[in-house]
Structure 1
Amino acid sequence: EVSGVGRRREMELGLSTTGDKTLDEAVRLWLQYDKNPKTVALVQDLVKEGAVEALKKCFSSRMEFGTAGLRAAMGPGISCMNDLTIIQTTQGFCCYLEESFGNLKERGVVIGYDARAHPVSGGSSKRFASLAAAVFISRGVPVYLFSDITPTPFVPFTVSHLGLCAGIMVTASHNPKQDNGYKVYWENGAQIVSPHDKGISKAIEENLKPWPESWKTEEALKKPLLKDPFQDIHTQYFKAIQKHCHHREINKSSEVKIVHTSVHGVGHTFVQSAFKAFDLHPPYAVEEQKDPDPEFPTVKYPNPEEGEGVLTLSFALAEKEGATVVLANDPDADRLAIAEKQKSGQWRVFSGNELGALLGWWIFRCWKEQNSDAAAVKNLYMLSSTVSSKILRAIALKEGFHFEETLTGFKWMGNRASDLLDQGKTVLFAFEEAIGYMCSPSVLDKDGVSAAAIAGEMISYLATKNTSLSQQLSTIYEEYGYHISKNSYFICHDQEVIRSLFERLRNYTGQKDSYPKECGRFSISAVRDLTTGYDSNQPDNKAILPTSSSSQMITFTFSNGGVATMRTSGTEPKIKYYTELCAAPGNSDVTRLKKELDELVDAIVENFFEPQKNKLLPKPE
């Protein structure tokens, strides 16, 4: 039923001119529900202009709520992040939590947000967080809404620390400036996994009409159900990560100079506080990038994973101050990149896998210093995702602790860590190659703030031995075996092209499950397909890791010790590939190993990607 206001809007707009009844109905409903004057005006203008294609883009399909929550551009319509879609999403999530927890009204939820904003549509992370809070408060649910921007790790920390039912972080992490996101954590402090995503998605569809109180943010934010956890959590978080500080005296006297950039995100004050908690000298902050700025004016992509381009200003400051190491967080401070000045004067940006090796080695070394009981190592676990380096497996085999791999994404590592902790195990460390590190079980997700402080201590300790990060990495590889990796991606917006590329690999000889036996001169010894559940390494050809038909992922193991995984991204229009060559300890001919891996990657691109190459865009330089 369309309200009087909605009818007047229809008459003003002449909606039938789109010539598409379904589209007309979607726009009609939008104008009936939306109370944000900016997004209403944007839709009205599109209708007046007869911009049917633009309207279809906004209204043809609702953002899909997956295990990563939501992530999309800010703007009008059901396919974008805006006031109305935030309200609809939160109403669904609230109903799902009411069904899942009988004590939701006693325990409550936490909501955090970064500094993103979109002037054109009036959307911002803070605004979206306030609307989400209003929805929960309207149902009598206590809400711990941070009064200021926070790093993403603060939300899962708060869920665990206060024993809440769930957490929401409004952020698009390192995505382009026009994007925003809605990330959800369950009561165990880990990101949600299936079937919660499907249950939430269904509940959203059943609660699209805004509840009367959902728009009333000003009233909601004055109610006693609203609490601000900022000061308490700030204190408790730094107290928790201090447990991982093992060399305070070295930290106090260290003369190592470190530069830090938050890339216009939230990380600056929190990393400064983390260094203070470890008694480390404060890192030099990149002035142009230390304060939050949703325009990200000094970088093309606000993603330190992209490497040198994002770190140009950091290198300049390091040269000026005589610093040898650069630390960089992404805008929501859940990731960490590190670069080190080499003797040649060049800067080396470490890959996520290389940092995983360094931090894994360091954290185990610190644990060993604290634990004299040799048998205790049997209770230890380290985790990494299946597309990440297997260096932790090599260290675990030699040192006697347990290593497990999970599916891609910290949601899997966080939930597995939660299970192990419930069993009384110790989870020391988890990482993924996309510069994500979990250095403390206080946060069951990647955390760039604690990782920065722990890296700072490692750097200070190595300096007392006159050792650089690069030298220590070589020492690790010499002891446990070189693990050389090379990762990249192609951009592809056409789902059909992606589907046909992966289907060709599944039916390589024209028959079902006839995967390739070689790739150029390289022989393939095993294939695992986590889209279909096929694994040639298993007696029944069935994969052990969970499978998902909604995403593409195939791993090839080669006879020369190489492993290559091709997969689609869950948040970006990318086909990613990850390759690694694992050598036995003692094989230190790095030049030959790198040449072998380069040739393997060339063969993969030529044989597996070539048929669709003209429809794929290479990774931008």
Structure 2
Amino acid sequence: MSNIKELAESWLKWDKNAETRKEIQSLLESDNQSELKSRLEQRIAFGTAGLRGPMKAGFSCMNDLTVIQASQGLCIYVEQTLSNSKNSGIVVGYDGRHHSKEFARLTAATFASRGFKVYLFSKIVPTPYVVILYLISNYMDCYVHQAFAVPELKASVGVMITASHNPKDDNGYKVYWDNGCQINTPHDIRIAMQIDLNLEPWNIDVNELLNGSLVSDPLDTITKSYFGKIAKYSVKNEVKLATSEKIVYTAMHGVGGEYAKMAFETFGLPAFIPVDQQIQPDPEFPTVAFPNPEEGKGALKLSIETAERNNSRLILANDPDADRLAVAERQPDGQWKVFNGNEIGVLFADWAWQNARRADSTTPAERFCMINTAVSSSMLKTMANKDGYRHEECLTGFKWVGNKARELMDKGYNFLFAYEEAIGFMYGDVSLDKDGVRCAPIFAELALTCYQAGKSCQDHLEELYKRYGYHISKNRYFFCYDPKKMVAIFDKIRNYGQFPTNCGDFYITRVRDLTVGYDSGYPDHKARLPVSSSTQMITFYFENGGIATLRGSGTEPKLKYYVEMIGSDRQLVESTLSQLVEQVINQFLRPVENELTPPKDD
């Protein structure tokens, strides 16, 4: 009790928010030990995704105090690590969730109190806005592959307040470093250390600091810059578009509506038909239980209804912070096809490659590059091998994707496209993070080109399968709410390093464990991709070409599985995939099913 009482006293001493102070005070008065321990004993972890969690009082949650503490630690680390960082400054943006604006203001004021120049957006913006501001500024002088002018702003680091597509009660704190990418190790570890060394809030006047000369609003400058840069991806002058087609768009109650509209205008496309119930930002997300278009037809119900009323066959959807893009298309039988991330990814990849060759047929193919993550389809690798451009695989998350793109571009490669299967797409080099705003009009042009040619996006995908082979995947997840149980499940799968040689009827030829750094595919059995002991991830490769990966999500309480089969016969690939998925679940997940909760639609 004494330790909990001391923690509670520290909280009440430091927290200046009356609402969250009251929460802890009430728990103390009711002697709710279990809830006090849950709220106070563990700090919300600062990792490569920054912070993300429920908005409640306590050191383990997102609230004013933990945002201030994170900002203090980040501020000190930036000050010590990056030269001229105070003059270069920080960019702070925020989405439309509850408390996002307040968290952004606290972050901005914390940096201003140390003499940093601060660019604080005056309204909600998509995540890509924060990335583009300082990516452009720090690299345009020396980076020959991007046709940008040197902009007015020169920031060193960025913070975006968002929980992306998490439930409405969550929020997050996403940090971008001076290379234009999300922070990666070792920055996260060192920032976390500085947070722990600077827990007591500094005595600052937020309003006075935000009204001071160090703080400015970059909205107009970045809006003009961003849309000027993405215009180069439009191909309307090179190909014919079926512009009479109607396109439905939903912002999923997030920030994307206004910015997607401007993106369509920038591309010279006809205005989309909005899903009226979801086009305005609303932190309550009243029409969707999970504001994530990746969830499929359930999340797109209103979009489908809108499309059918307006005789539209294409739906585009952003998630709440507009950095992801979902796509659905009505098929000739009237059914709706919701494309998964791999399907959208290979459609984008082919579009990027064909456009690159149309614009530049003389540069050798091997000087172009594309990237996808280790749990995404291997089809992009197959396409690259056949067409001659370079393909790279990296760990899951755009902190890895963006840094790999930067590495390749610094070596002189022409970067075209990258994706992860969770509907995250990075088309071109405007910013090195996923971006659903610029990808919406790009996919619209892709689709309208297909329609002009008398075929659908699904028809074109089928053409790609026939050209490169059927790469068909099934990805799903179970909820696992206890991190210790997650570790125990994976420890049981790896069985002290004695991995199984088969999964049911399927023979295993290779095992890669990126938690412990093991890969039987190399003579020394050492993994070549980066290893993360804090993230569970095991991949099995099968004799028949199948691949199955099990991993714990870094941002949600989910154990995910990704299974893919490859072949030239669709029917055989699909039937074999179904068998493999069943046996992967039976062998690795069924024995621990009491520890897992299936999604509600299962």
| TM-score under structure 2 length normalisation | 0.96
**CA–CA separation in structure 2 for the residues paired with 1:495 and 1:138:** 37
Aligned length: 585
Q: Deviations over 1:485-523 (max 9, x none)?
A: 00001111223332222112222xxxx421010011001
SS at match of 1:486: strand
SS at match of 1:150: coil
User: Quick check: 452-461 or 158-167, which moved more?
Assistant: 158-167
SS at match of 1:308: coil
Is 1:207 aligned to 2:204, yes or no? Answer: no
Is 1:197 aligned to 2:185, yes or no? Answer: no
**CA–CA separation in structure 1 for the residues paired with 2:214 and 2:594:** 56
**CA–CA separation in structure 2 for the residues paired with 1:130 and 1:162:** 23
* Residue among 524, 542, 556 paired with 1:572: 556
Show the counterpart of 1:132.
Answer: 107
Contact 1:252 1:281 in 2 (8 A): no
Show the counterpart of 2:160.
Answer: 169
Is 1:502 aligned to 2:502, yes or no? Answer: no
* Residue among 505, 522, 529 paired with 1:521: 505
* Residue among 582, 585, 595 paired with 1:605: 585
Over the residues paired in the alignment, what is the CA RMSD in angstroms?
1.1
Aligned AA for 1:180? N
* Residue among 561, 565, 572 paired with 1:592: 572
**CA–CA separation in structure 1 for the residues paired with 2:565 and 2:538:** 17
* Residue among 530, 534, 538 paired with 1:550: 534
Q: Deviations over 1:532-573 (max 9, x none)?
A: 111000010001001111111100000111000000011111
**CA–CA separation in structure 2 for the residues paired with 1:591 and 1:185:** 44
Show the counterpart of 2:275.
Answer: 286
Show the counterpart of 1:178.
Answer: 169
Show the counterpart of 1:384.
Answer: 372
Is 1:219 aligned to 2:203, yes or no? Answer: no
Q: Deviations over 1:400-425 (max 9, x none)?
A: 10001001111101001111112221
Contact 1:260 1:285 in 2 (8 A): yes
Is 1:413 aligned to 2:397, yes or no? Answer: no
* Residue among 28, 31, 34 paired with 2:9: 28
Is 1:61 aligned to 2:36, yes or no? Answer: no
Show the counterpart of 1:17.
Answer: none
Structure-to-structure mapping, 1:126-165, within 5 angstroms: 126-163=101-138, 164-165=155-156
**CA–CA separation in structure 1 for the residues paired with 2:180 and 2:482:** 35
SS at match of 2:300: helix
Identity %: 47
Gaps of 5+ in 2: 139-154
Aligned AA for 1:59? L
**CA–CA separation in structure 1 for the residues paired with 2:240 and 2:195:** 50
1:58 deviation in Å? 1.0
**CA–CA separation in structure 2 for the residues paired with 1:544 and 1:443:** 27
Aligned AA for 1:60? E
**CA–CA separation in structure 2 for the residues paired with 1:465 and 1:316:** 26
Contact 1:380 1:425 in 2 (8 A): yes
* Residue among 250, 255, 262 paired with 1:266: 255
Contact 2:371 2:392 in 1 (8 A): yes
Aligned AA for 1:443? S
SS at match of 1:154: helix
Show the counterpart of 2:522.
Answer: 538
**CA–CA separation in structure 1 for the residues paired with 2:378 and 2:97:** 36
Is 1:487 aligned to 2:452, yes or no? Answer: no
**CA–CA separation in structure 2 for the residues paired with 1:320 and 1:555:** 44
**CA–CA separation in structure 1 for the residues paired with 2:208 and 2:450:** 54
Aligned AA for 1:540? D
Q: Deviations over 1:33-85 (max 9, x none)?
A: 11111111111111122222221111010000000000010011101111111
Where in structure 1 do 4 or more consecutive aligned residues deviate above 6 Å? none
1:248 deviation in Å? 3.8
1:249 deviation in Å? 7.0
1:252 deviation in Å? 7.2
**CA–CA separation in structure 2 for the residues paired with 1:455 and 1:50:** 55
1:619 deviation in Å? 2.2
SS at match of 2:284: coil
Q: Deviations over 1:178-226 (max 9, x none)?
A: 000000000011001100000000000000111111xx22111111110
Contact 1:251 1:278 in 2 (8 A): no
Show the counterpart of 1:478.
Answer: 466
**CA–CA separation in structure 2 for the residues paired with 1:22 and 1:142:** 40
Show the counterpart of 2:178.
Answer: 187
* Residue among 76, 80, 84 paired with 2:57: 76
Q: In 2 relative to 1, CA 208–496 (structure 1 residues): closer, same or farther, beyond 3 Å?
A: closer
Contact 1:263 1:296 in 2 (8 A): yes
**CA–CA separation in structure 2 for the residues paired with 1:614 and 1:46:** 31
Contact 1:71 1:182 in 2 (8 A): yes
Contact 1:488 1:578 in 2 (8 A): yes
Show the counterpart of 2:151.
Answer: none
Aligned AA for 2:209? A
1:102 deviation in Å? 2.2
Is 1:426 aligned to 2:407, yes or no? Answer: no
Structure-to-structure mapping, 1:5-44, within 5 angstroms: 20-44=1-25
Contact 2:128 2:433 in 1 (8 A): yes
SS at match of 1:197: helix
1:161 deviation in Å? 2.0
Show the counterpart of 2:71.
Answer: 90
Larger of the two Rg values belongs to structure: 1
Show the counterpart of 1:465.
Answer: 453
User: Quick check: 242-251 or 218-227, which moved more?
Assistant: 242-251
Contact 1:497 1:612 in 2 (8 A): no
Aligned AA for 1:152? T
**CA–CA separation in structure 2 for the residues paired with 1:44 and 1:500:** 36
**CA–CA separation in structure 1 for the residues paired with 2:482 and 2:500:** 24
Show the counterpart of 1:456.
Answer: 444
SS at match of 2:72: helix
Gaps of 5+ in 1: 1-19, 118-123
| TM-score under structure 1 length normalisation | 0.93
Show the counterpart of 2:33.
Answer: 52
1:165 deviation in Å? 1.1
SS at match of 1:378: helix
Is 1:114 aligned to 2:95, yes or no? Answer: yes
SS at match of 2:351: helix
* Residue among 395, 415, 418 paired with 2:383: 395
**CA–CA separation in structure 2 for the residues paired with 1:361 and 1:423:** 23
Contact 2:416 2:427 in 1 (8 A): yes
1:613 deviation in Å? 1.1
Q: In 2 relative to 1, CA 249–415 (structure 1 residues): closer, same or farther, beyond 3 Å?
A: closer
SS at match of 1:310: coil
Q: In 2 relative to 1, CA 251–109 (structure 1 residues): closer, same or farther, beyond 3 Å?
A: farther
**CA–CA separation in structure 1 for the residues paired with 2:472 and 2:300:** 23
Contact 1:241 1:450 in 2 (8 A): yes
1:250 deviation in Å? 5.4
Contact 1:251 1:457 in 2 (8 A): no
User: Quick check: 421-430 or 516-525, which moved more?
Assistant: 421-430
Contact 1:528 1:534 in 2 (8 A): yes
1:251 deviation in Å? 6.9
